[in-house]
Structure formats: C-alpha cells, structure tokens
C-alpha cells in the first residue's frame, strides 16, 4: 500500500502559495521546433494493472490490480478527514524527520527521525501504477474538471494531478507532471487567479520549505529543502522555490496531454509538452519546450531520468485540504482518465 495524500498536498499547498504570492504565473515557453515524439505503451490495463486507494473519514481503502475499467473517474472527496496510512516513510537519504511545528509523523516526538513510521494523508483518491522501467514521459487522455464557489481561505486546496514520481510513497526523489488547481485565490496585487493547469517538476519532492521535513543524515546533518540549491539542499531564493509553468489551455474538455524528455540541439535534456485534441489529432495549443535547469544550475536530474536505468511510478488522483470547511462545489469535480500510456525509448530531436 502506498501513500499519496500528505505528500501531494504538502507539495501543492506550497506550490500554489508561491505561484500566487510570488507572481509566478508565466506560461510554458511556446516552441515551433520540430521534436520527434517517443513511442507509447499502455498501462493500467488488465495485464499491467496498478492500485487504487481511497482516503476518507479516518480510513484508507486500497484495491490491488486496479484498471481504468474499474476506476475511470476520480471524484471530489466529500470527506474533510484524512487517515493515518499503513504506508510508512522510507529510509533516507533524504531522511524524513518531525520538524518543529510539523505533523510529518504525529506518533513521533518533535525532531525525531520518521523512517518506518506511518504517513498521515489528506482525503482523496488515486490510481497509481506498479513500477515502470521508464521515466521518459507519459501520455494522459482525459479531462480535468469542476468548479468551486468563491470563498477561498488559506490552507484550502483541491487538486487534480497526473504525474511521474521516483518514490512509491511520494517522498524524496524527482517528480514531474500536471496539476489542475481549483482554489488558487488572489495574488499580491489582489488579482484573482482562476483555476489553471500547471506543468511542474521537483527534486527532494515533498521535503517542504517552512520548515523542511528532510535532512541529510538520519540524526542531525543539515535541512534538505525541496528544490534546494547545492549539494546540501540549501534553501533556494523565494522566486525559484516553485519550478513550474502554466499550460494555457482554453478549456478543460477531454484532451490528450503529453510530456516527455528529449535531448535538444544544445545537448541538454528538456521537457516537451503537448496538448492534442483527440477529435482532430491536432495540437490544441502550440507545443512547448521546458528547460528544467534554466535557473539555479542543473539541480533537476533530467539526464538521469532519461537514462535506460531510470524508472518509477505514475499516478492520477484528487486530493483535498479543507480546514475551514469552506469548499462548495458549483460544478461536479472529476478527474476522468480515459487512457494512460508511458514513453518507451526516446527518439532524438530532429
């Protein structure tokens, strides 16, 4: 059984906080360069199933051998209460610990190491693949959807996401993928940010910022920040804490969302992002190329993920945080998954 809620909601709360408060709203870079797409392989099939988990009302329910035929839509969790999962924190590095003021592992004393302890999770549900030997990219056909009534309050979060992750319990390691955030709120200038789709990437995933919940040694060492700069994970400047860009889709009807790693003409590894209309086979918006190491040096392990030795897991899910009980749904909130495929060995850029 694997964790999702706390890890994802930890990242999403801070991600959206900085997207809103740091003015980090630029779109992913449009690119007219021709880039060859990889071949794709289906997962979540009867022969390549995954797991489905639901977390609500203090309980966790896990279904093995889950397929899209069994769980084609992941819905808004009506419960405000998560659960203490049977999943446990892995051994490091990075080493998880119960930082001052955090609830990383509520059954451990403050400051103590959390490896092997159960992970608390927010309400939600997700579909996660078994281990896949490729980390090159994925294709998701489906739709992000739903609307909430106005009334955003700090700490309120409802996120739909589709992403790759190296660690099966969403802690440490690299991640990249898409998330649709329904409760973004207002930025520093008072401008309201409507729901939007963001492409993101991270290292030391879910280690956090204030305070970080990872360190370089089991006992002691130095704090290790998510997306931290340098070998010791020193805190990055505020405007570089979030690594992501908006995908400027016009609406959130059913589409084909693709992302894969490719080696560009400058010999560096980058992401290619496309959104395709499945009715016509044409691009719904111009293709985008994203350099994950454009700031702060080569901290994101793009070349490692592109190697034949890299692998990991793929997840689609919905997770929620509603401490004020303020979320009101105006349109049904569903993450619909029609098809999920992963990239097979990469074709070089033309």
In this prediction, residue 103 carries a pLDDT of: 78
In this prediction, residue 299 carries a pLDDT of: 79
- Segment holding 96, helix H or strand E: strand 95-96
Q: Which residue has the tokens 């492409």?
A: 199
Residue 139 lies in a domain: no
In this prediction, residue 86 carries a pLDDT of: 85
Ordered strands of the 313-321 beta sheet: 59-66, 50-56, 124-129, 313-321, 157-165, 175-181, 196-202, 244-247
In this prediction, residue 151 carries a pLDDT of: 60
Residue 180 lies in a domain: yes
Task: Please give the structure tokens belonging to residue 60.
Answer: 């966790």
CA 337-248-254 angle, to 5 degrees, is 25
Residue 141 lies in a domain: no
For residue 66, what are the β-bridge partners? 50
Residue 145 lies in a domain: no
Residue 189 lies in a domain: yes
In this prediction, residue 186 carries a pLDDT of: 54
350 residues of the chain, pLDDT tens digit each = 344 544 444 444 333 333 333 344 589 999 999 999 999 999 999 999 999 999 999 999 999 999 999 999 998 878 888 898 888 898 888 899 988 767 788 878 888 889 999 998 999 999 999 999 999 999 999 999 887 776 666 677 888 999 999 999 998 889 999 999 887 655 555 666 677 899 999 988 888 877 788 888 888 888 888 877 655 566 665 555 568 899 999 877 899 999 999 999 999 999 999 999 999 999 999 999 999 987 556 678 999 999 877 899 999 999 988 888 888 888 888 899 999 999 987 444 43
Residue 137 lies in a domain: no
* Strands 269-276 and 288-290, bridge-based pairing: antiparallel
**Which pTM value belongs to this model?**
0.89
Residue 140 lies in a domain: no
Task: Please give the structure tokens belonging to residue 162.
Answer: 């589709």
- Domain count for the chain: 1
In this prediction, residue 3 carries a pLDDT of: 43
Residue 138 lies in a domain: no
Q: Which domain holds residue 58?
A: 5-132+150-268+277-343
């Amino acid at each position: 059984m694997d964790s999702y809620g706390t890890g994802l909601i930890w990242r999403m709360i801070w991600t959206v906080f900085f997207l809103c408060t740091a003015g980090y709203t630029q779109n992913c870079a449009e690119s007219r360069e021709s880039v060859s797409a990889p071949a794709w392989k289906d997962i979540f099939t009867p022969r390549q199933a995954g797991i489905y988990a639901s977390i609500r009302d203090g309980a966790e329910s896990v279904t093995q051998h889950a397929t899209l035929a069994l769980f084609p839509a992941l819905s808004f969790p009506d419960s405000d209460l998560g659960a203490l999962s049977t999943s446990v924190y892995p051994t490091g590095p990075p080493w998880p610990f119960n930082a001052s003021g955090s609830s990383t592992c509520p059954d451990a004393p403050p400051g103590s190491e959390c490896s092997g302890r159960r992970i608390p999770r927010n309400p939600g549900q997700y579909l996660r693949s078994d281990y896949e030997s490729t980390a090159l990219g994925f294709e998701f056909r489906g739709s992000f959807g739903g609307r909430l009534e106005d009334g955003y309050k700090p700490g309120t979060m409802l996120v739909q996401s589709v992403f790759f992750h190296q660690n099966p319990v969403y802690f440490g390691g690299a991640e990249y993928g898409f998330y649709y955030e329904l409760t973004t709120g207002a930025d520093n200038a008072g401008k309201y940010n409507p729901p939007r789709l963001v492409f993101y990437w991270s290292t030391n995933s879910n280690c956090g910022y204030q305070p970080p919940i990872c360190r370089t040694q089991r006992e002691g060492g130095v704090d290790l920040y998510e997306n931290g700069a340098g070998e010791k994970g020193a805190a990055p400047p505020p405007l570089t804490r979030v690594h992501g860009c908006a995908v400027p889709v016009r609406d959130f009807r059913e589409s084909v969302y693709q992302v894969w790693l490719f080696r560009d003409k400058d010999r560096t590894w980058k992401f290619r992002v496309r959104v395709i209309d499945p009715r016509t086979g044409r691009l719904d918006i111009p293709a985008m190329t994203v350099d994950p190491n454009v700031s702060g040096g080569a901290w994101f392990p793009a070349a490692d993920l592109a190697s034949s030795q890299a692998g990991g897991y793929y997840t689609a899910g919905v997770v929620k945080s509603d401490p004020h009980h303020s979320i009101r749904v105006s349109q049904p909130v569903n993450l619909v998954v029609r098809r999920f495929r992963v990239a097979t060995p990469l074709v070089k850029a033309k």
